[in-house]
Structure 1
Amino acid sequence: MPVYEYKCDNCDSRFEVLQRISDPPLTDCPECEGALRKVLHPVGISFKGSGFYSTDYKSSSARPSANGESAPSENGASEKKSSEKAASKD
């Protein structure tokens, strides 16, 4: 059974409760009867073992930029392609 953390919006108290996934979430603070909400935490992922390599994933320079074009690579291949397109339009 998972452990859920709750925080009171009224008194800022925090506590953990062991609940089933199918149980309804708690709504009232046991200290002040204020409204409760679940606190979500990020999950840490660790890739260990011989099957994971740094070359398995795209580099950050290959991600598309905000305008939808891919970022230029280190060897200038994107610059060469764009200059060739400009020359062919003339």
Structure 2
Amino acid sequence: MPTYSYRCTQCENAFDIQQALSDESLTECHECHGKLRKVFNMVGVTFNGSGFYRTDSRSDSRKESGSSSSAPTPSS
């Protein structure tokens, strides 16, 4: 289940809670009964592996036609 962060707009009370995706968002602070807002944080991204290369996502036919050494030369 995902964890959501909430902060009260009146008393600045902040907390995290686990909720199912189908659950309704919380709207009322349990301390002062003020209005709650969801807090959205930046998500960290980690790239693991030896690296990413320009040709990683290309199909085989595109790799072959993209090389300049095997291309025919124009004749005059």
Q: TM-score range by the shorter chain?
A: 0.5 to 0.7
Query: Equivalent residue for 1:63?
Result: none
Following superposition, the deviation at residue 47 of structure 1 comes to 1.1
Greater helix content? 1
- What are the residue-to-residue correspondences of 1:7-86 with 2, within 5 Å? 7-53=7-53, 56=54
Residue ranges of structure 2 left out of the alignment (5+ in a row): 55-76
Higher relative contact order (CA 8 A, sep 6+): 2
Q: State the identity %.
A: 52
Superposed CA offset, 1:36-55 (max 9, x none):
011001111111201425xx
Residue ranges of structure 1 left out of the alignment (5+ in a row): 57-90
TM-score of the pair, normalised by structure 1: 0.56
TM-score of the pair, normalised by structure 2: 0.66
Query: Equivalent residue for 1:84?
Result: none
Stretches (4+) displaced over 4 A: none
Superposed CA offset, 1:14-48 (max 9, x none):
01111001100000000000000110011111112
**Number of aligned pairs?**
54
Query: Equivalent residue for 1:3?
Result: 3
